[in-house]
Structure 1
Amino acid sequence: MKPREKGWLKEYLEFRKELLKDLTTETKRKASHPEYSLYRVIQPTGLMYGQVVGDINIPESEHWNERDRMKILLAESLLSSSLLFQEKPIKTPEELSGIFLKTLESISNFYNNIFPELSIPTKTLFGRKKTVMELAERILDKRIEHTNAFEGNFWASFFHNTLLFLDVFIFGQWIHTNADKVVADFFRYEREELRFSVVKVIASAAHANKEIAYEEKKLLEYFLQSTDLSHERKRQAIQIFEDGIAVEDINLPSENSWILKKFFLEVAILTLWADKKVEQSELDYLKSFCHYLNFSEEDLENSMIAIEGFVLEHWSQLEHLQNKQDYHEVSEQFIKRIAKIAERNKGRLVKEIHEHEDVMNLLRKARSNELTLDEKEKMRQELIQMLKTLPTFVIIALPQKFLTLPILLKILPRNLFAEGVNTDAS
């Protein structure tokens, strides 16, 4: 599959059909709120942070450039948003195909109405009416052409391309409305307001320690370059950034969804990360911001875990970020956070271990023999699956590659394995 060639969208849907269908099952629909499920789909990909480093399990994807990957992630996020909010489970291939076509039509209508600068004709030069697939493919091509490529520069990519998340969020609202002119006008207004809200969140977070670092000043520059704000709005943004803005004056919409509030919180966290350290005054700011969003400190902790886990999983790909954060410091902080959650849920984990015969057998063997590489890998995978049963990790994805067996044994409570473990994992 080649995202730069015509027909890529049809190939993508065919390849991803089973994975996308899985989002609509009765079990998945009842497991958690659709917004939690959407966060779990989008956050590990990096789309919320303007990154395209998440794993894309499609043949030849290692040969794609940044925009190819971004296009596929945007298409998958828009389709996932539509499927997760389906009222009924999809039972047949025909129903799934019908939902795909309806969603693709909604994608075309959405961008044509809300992003008039991307609008495309519905007919060819020879008067043939374009198919739903052709229209959706071309408009997604154009949307990605309007982004900026900054391979290797985390912060530039973050503030140029993180706005794609707002596309997905607004689209999730759009598909449940009758798209008349009044509705389209509302969503165009919301698009501008939400983009400006990101500016205010950045400014507010940057002033948290009463000192604007050079890196934080660059963030505004990156962001303003990426938006289509009017001259007056850009002037206001610069003023807000120079003066700062109190949390209570940000005036985010009062009916914010959970995933949108999560996005704003994680924008604030990453803004504070820009100058290397998160100081106590900045942590106090984040707690205040959480209170403003009606989030608890547990929500803040979960977002810190989500961001740290994402960064650790893709450390080698986030070259620019390596200059700003210390890998050891980030990993130790992440391990401490996960260890606290594991300790709080020790009873559940003990129960899980005793219900998994494979793990128990490996533990028994490890008491007297060194495990083979295959056995260590099996144990690693089993322990990760057990962690995934904890409520926190129903929503937050765990960094699979980062969680080696030695790290897992540091995370899990020391007395979790009553009979002891000698895996010689290092």
Structure 2
Amino acid sequence: MINPSASGWIDKFFAEQKFSEQNISTTTDIFYQKVRNTGFIYGHIIAFDTVNRIETKGWFKEEISKVALLNTLYDIFCLTNKEIRSEKFIEKAVSFYNQMHPQGFNILQKILPKNRLSLTLEKIIDERVQTNDSIISKNFSHLVTNALLFIDILAFRQYLIHDSIPEKYLKKIEETIVSIVTLGLNIKSNKSQYDDLLIKLFEASIRYSKFSKVSVQGFETLKLDYFTNELEKYYLIDIAGMALWSDGKIENDEIYFLHTLAEALSVSDSFVNQSISNTNDFITKHKKEIPYFNYSNPVKHFYDQTTQSVVTLISRNKNRLIKEIVQSKELMVLLAYSTRRDLDEKEKKKVKKQLLEICKTVPSLAIFLLPGGSLLLPILIKFIPTLLPTAFNENLDNE
């Protein structure tokens, strides 16, 4: 039995499974359906598509995610390269992640050159499935991060075909996902004030690009013809359906949206019907196991929990934070002004930049520098003025 938290688990995984050519997917459709059945597409893994059953009782979610990611990467390797050698797969996977990891995602810097490639891949995968659990609601963060892991699978396929990741491929697919989710939520008849936050959560969960806001008018502006493989198209439809399901049901307008998306991607209506049915069946069946879907408004729950976590973190570091802030008169003035009027864009950028610099000097606040941390800054900015010295606020009144 493997232990995904113990060194050497990848070698043991392949030794126990003994994959053969009879076990690998032979077509794109078979591969995708198998992956979808495991829950990997939905971010909640219920099983592994392996030769021998793997018992996960007592495992942490991250451990399940690690095995699922490894197994799915291996499956797409077998499908694309038409071979099953685990040694070759590990070599390709390490080279792939070495090329794709963005600046600041310093996985390989932590790895000693003398490590076996399988141990190197273990450390990469361990880093890849991590979420900001100490701040971002664990239940939601893990779900979204897992659902977006399939981007790795799509990019790995591109790498195997071209021996490199096409330029801007990762940025393109991430921005397309966020744009499609944005378009989908905009057509909802019962819009919620938390829909924008859901979009921001997707933005905060992307790993390989710094998402820049674009004005999305319709599918024609997304240039969906960039995606030519069925796996890419299927995934975009499924991830859109999952986002629309966030309020517990899919309305007629949302069904029409998914069919319109499919038409733009040249995907059949039958796949959309299957996607809607599979998504509904999966979430309905496993809803009790997915805490995110157990709240009447899961995004509101996330926001409330996150706010409380940030407030607690700031309170614990109050003295150090005040000491750093008072050294910057400009920052103090802007923070004080923010309690009386809305800051303009230039002022907001100054506040954000200076606060991030302060976070670098306070170890406990380093969470704001991690992927997704920018989502928490508005909460930080809102709460900090209450820490400002009273005398300073009184002086501001006299200016």
Q: Same fold (TM over 0.5)?
A: yes
Aligned to 1:198: 177
Superposed displacement of residue 59, structure 1: 4.9
Q: Counterpart amino acid of 1:71?
A: K
CA displacement 1:349-406 (0-9 Å, x = unmatched): xxxxxxxxxxxxxxxxxxxxxxxxxxxxxxxxxxxxxxxxxxxxxxxxxxxxxxxxxx
Aligned to 2:56: 61
Aligned to 1:45: 38
Q: Counterpart amino acid of 1:284?
A: Y
Superposed displacement of residue 166, structure 1: 0.5
Moved more, 313-322 or 259-268: 313-322
Contact 1:47/1:73 (8 A) holds in 2: yes
Structure 1 pair 107–55 and aligned structure 2 pair: CA distance change class (3 A): closer
Superposed displacement of residue 42, structure 1: 1.2
Q: Counterpart amino acid of 1:227?
A: I
Q: Where do 1:232-311 residues align within 5 Å?
A: 233-234=211-212, 236=213, 240=215, 245-311=217-283
Superposed displacement of residue 75, structure 1: 0.2
Structure 1 pair 282–101 and aligned structure 2 pair: CA distance change class (3 A): same
Superposed displacement of residue 82, structure 1: 0.7
Q: 2:89 aligns with which of 81, 103, 112?
A: 103
CA distance in 2, matches of 1:146, 1:157: 6
Structure 1 pair 287–74 and aligned structure 2 pair: CA distance change class (3 A): same
Structure 1 pair 108–143 and aligned structure 2 pair: CA distance change class (3 A): same
CA displacement 1:28-56 (0-9 Å, x = unmatched): 63xxx2x1122122112222122233368
Tell me, yes or no, if structure 1 residue 144 matches structure 2 residue 129: yes
Structure 2: give runs of 5+ residues left out of the alignment.
Answer: 298-399
Contact 1:148/1:161 (8 A) holds in 2: no
Structure 1 pair 158–198 and aligned structure 2 pair: CA distance change class (3 A): farther
Contact 2:98/2:108 (8 A) holds in 1: yes
Superposed displacement of residue 164, structure 1: 0.7
SS of 1:63's partner is: coil
Aligned to 1:133: 118
SS of 1:274's partner is: helix
CA distance in 2, matches of 1:206, 1:254: 23
Structure 1 pair 255–76 and aligned structure 2 pair: CA distance change class (3 A): same
Q: Counterpart amino acid of 1:314?
A: H
Tell me, yes or no, if structure 1 residue 76 matches structure 2 residue 71: yes
Contact 1:23/1:80 (8 A) holds in 2: no
Superposed displacement of residue 275, structure 1: 2.1
Q: Where do 1:4-403 residues align within 5 Å?
A: 4-18=5-19, 21-24=21-24, 29=26, 33=27, 35-54=28-47, 58-87=53-82, 96=84, 99-116=85-102, 117-120=105-108, 124=112, 129-145=114-130, 153=139, 155-178=140-163, 183-184=164-165, 186-187=166-167, 189-209=168-188, 212-228=191-207, 233-234=211-212, 236=213, 240=215, 245-323=217-295
Superposed displacement of residue 138, structure 1: 2.0
Contact 1:118/1:143 (8 A) holds in 2: no
Q: How many residues align?
A: 291
Contact 1:290/1:297 (8 A) holds in 2: yes
Superposed displacement of residue 3, structure 1: 0.7
Q: Counterpart amino acid of 2:181?
A: I
Structure 1 pair 253–166 and aligned structure 2 pair: CA distance change class (3 A): farther
Superposed displacement of residue 226, structure 1: 1.4
Contact 1:216/1:274 (8 A) holds in 2: no
> TM-score if structure 1 supplies the norm length?
0.61
Q: Counterpart amino acid of 2:95?
A: N
Contact 1:216/1:275 (8 A) holds in 2: no
Structure 1: give runs of 5+ residues left out of the alignment.
Answer: 91-95, 326-426
Superposed displacement of residue 139, structure 1: 1.6
Superposed displacement of residue 225, structure 1: 1.9
Aligned to 1:412: none
CA distance in 1, matches of 2:86, 2:208: 33
Contact 1:78/1:168 (8 A) holds in 2: yes
Superposed displacement of residue 175, structure 1: 1.4
> TM-score if structure 2 supplies the norm length?
0.65
CA displacement 1:177-199 (0-9 Å, x = unmatched): 33xxxx45x35x11111111111
SS of 1:278's partner is: coil
CA displacement 1:328-351 (0-9 Å, x = unmatched): xxxxxxxxxxxxxxxxxxxxxxxx
Contact 1:152/1:318 (8 A) holds in 2: no
Superposed displacement of residue 16, structure 1: 1.9
Contact 1:152/1:317 (8 A) holds in 2: no
Contact 2:4/2:67 (8 A) holds in 1: yes
Structure 1 pair 12–319 and aligned structure 2 pair: CA distance change class (3 A): same
Superposed displacement of residue 324, structure 1: 5.3
Contact 1:201/1:268 (8 A) holds in 2: yes
Q: Counterpart amino acid of 1:271?
A: A
